[in-house]
Amino acid sequence: MRFFAILLFAACAHAAIVEGVVLDEETGNPLARAQVTLTPLPGTKAGATSVRTGARGSFVVLSVVPGWYVLRATRRGYVPAESGQSKPGRPGHAFEVADNRATGFVELHMSHLAAISGTVLDENGIGIPRWPVHIYSARKPMRHIGQTITDDRGDYRIGELDAGTYYLRSGPGHFEDQAPVLATYSKAAVELKDAWPTGISIGQTQPNITIRPVKGPLLTLSGLFLPPPEPGGASLTLITDTGRREIASGNKPQSISIPDVQPGPIELVVTGNDGFGRDCGSYSALTVDKDIISTLRLACNPINPGSVQITGATPQSRLIVRRVDLDGVSETHALGRNELFRPGHWELSVPRGDYFVQSVTNFRQPAPQSGSWYNFLAGSSTSVQVSLSTRVATVSGVVSAQGNPVSGAPVFLVETTTGESWAVRADPVGHYVIGGLGPGTYAIRSSFDIDGIEGFSSKGGTFDVSLGSSTVRQLELYRQ
C-alpha cells in the first residue's frame, strides 16, 4: 500500500497543476463549495475538469494536460468569475499550462448577484405589511421572473438578479377597509407605459424603489365550468401576470364566479382526465376591461400527444421545451417521445450542431422566434414541424490587438433580427470559428471589456451571411 502511495505522489509531483483560492469580492472571505472549472481552448486536446473549493476556499486541479485554458468559478448567489477578468461578469483571460510545473497561485474574486429593495407605501407614506411585490424583465419579451412579500414595515428585497433592467409591481388586493387596489408599477403607475424601469449592475443592491398602490375597481368574471363526469375530473386555474389561483375542481358542472381580477390579460386553463386514462384540457386567453357575466364556458376537451416532426437532419440531442404562462416560464426539459402538450403557450429550442434551423411551424403557421426559442400554441392537438438544413454557413477569422493575435479572445455574434447569439473563444493563436449559421444579418465583436452578450453593441457594423457561405471577418480586439 505504501509503495502505491509513493508512486501516486511521484506522479503528482511531475504533473502540471492549477491551484488557487476563491474569495468573496466584498469581504475577502474564502468561498467554500464553489465549483471551479478548467476549460481548454480550441486546439488543446483535453476535456473540461471541475473541482469544488474546500472549507478555506482553496482548490487544486491535478494532472492537467499542457495547453491553454480558461478558469471559471460558479456559486449560488454569485456572478460567475473567470481568472484575469477586468471586472465582475466579464470574460477572463486564457493562460498556458506547461508540462511538469504549476501555473502559479490563482485568485478568483466573486461578486454577489444584484438585488432591488424598497417599500410599498399607502396614501400617507406608511409601509403596507405582507403585500405581494412582483418583478419583471424589461427585455422583450417582458416576463414575470419572481415575487416576494413585504415585511411588517412594508419593506421588500428581491435578490439573485442578473445585471439588467427590471420593472417592479405590487399585486392587486384589498386594504383593511376592503377598498380594492390595482396591481401598480413603481412608482404609482397602473399602465406599463407610465412605469419607472429600474437598472442594476453586478453586485449592486438598488435601494429605495417605492411603490404606491393605486385604488381602483377589480373585475368579476362568471360562467360555467364543465369538467368530465365521474370517474373523471378536472380543475380550473386563473393565471395573470401577478400569479395564479385555482378557481374550481371536481367532476360536476358548476357555476363559477371569479372576483378580484386585475384588468388586463388573463389565461384560463383547464386540466384533467376522463377517468379512463385519457387527458383533457382547454386554454383561453382574454384581455378583460370590464365584468364578464355568465358568458364563459370552460370545458375539459380531449387532447392528444403532440406531434413534433424533424426533417432535413438529425439533432445531436433531444429538443428542449418549456411552458410559458403569464406568470412566468416553467423549467426546461428534454422533449419526450409523444409528449403531451397541455393547451397553452410553449417554447421549443433546437440543440446546436452541424445544421441550422430553417423553420419551425405549428399547423403550417410560422412559430415566432425570440433568440434561440420558438413559440407555439398547443390546443387539443399539436403538430409542430422543425426543418433543419445542413447547408450551414461559417464565420471565421483572427482576433488581433495592434497586429498581434490574442490567445483565447472571446468572440460574440448576434443575429440582428431574432437576437439569437453565440459566444466562442479563439484558439491560442487568435483564430476563431463559428459554425452552424443560417442566412441572415449578423453583428460580431471581440472584447474582454463587455459584459458578454448583454453588453454587446452592434455599432461596429453588421454583415450579411448567405446560405452555406464561408465568411472571413478579421477582428480587432475592442477596448473601452
For the chain, what is the HEC assignment? CHHHHHHHHHHHHCCEEEEEEEEECCCCCECCCCEEEEEECCCCCCCCEEEECCCCCEEEEEEECCEEEEEEEECCCECCEECCCCCCCCCCCCEEECCCCEEEEEEEEECECEEEEEEEECCCCCECCCCEEEEEECCCCCCEEEEEECCCCCEEEEEEECCEEEEEEECCEECCCCCEECCEECCCECCHHHCCCEEECCCCEECCCCECCCECCCEEEEEEEECCCCCCEEEEEEEECCEEEEEEEECCCEEEEEEEECCEEEEEEEEEECCCCCEEEEEEEEEECCCEEEEEEEECEECCCCEEEEECCCCCCCCEEEEEECCEECCCEECCCCCCCCCEEEEEECCCECEEEEEEEECCEECCEECCEEEEEECCCCEEEEEEECCCEEEEEEEEECCEECCCCEEEEEECCCCCEEEEECCCCCEEEEEEECCEEEEEEEECCCCHHHHCCHHHCEEEECCCCEEECCEECECC
Domains of the chain and CATH, by start: 2-110 (2.60.40.1120), 114-206 (2.60.40.10), 219-302 (2.60.40), 307-389 (no CATH), 393-476 (2.60.40.10)
pLDDT in the model for residue 275? 87
pLDDT in the model for residue 3? 38
What's the whole-model pTM score?
0.90
pLDDT in the model for residue 9? 42
Given a cut of 50, the residues of the chain with pLDDT beneath it are 1-13
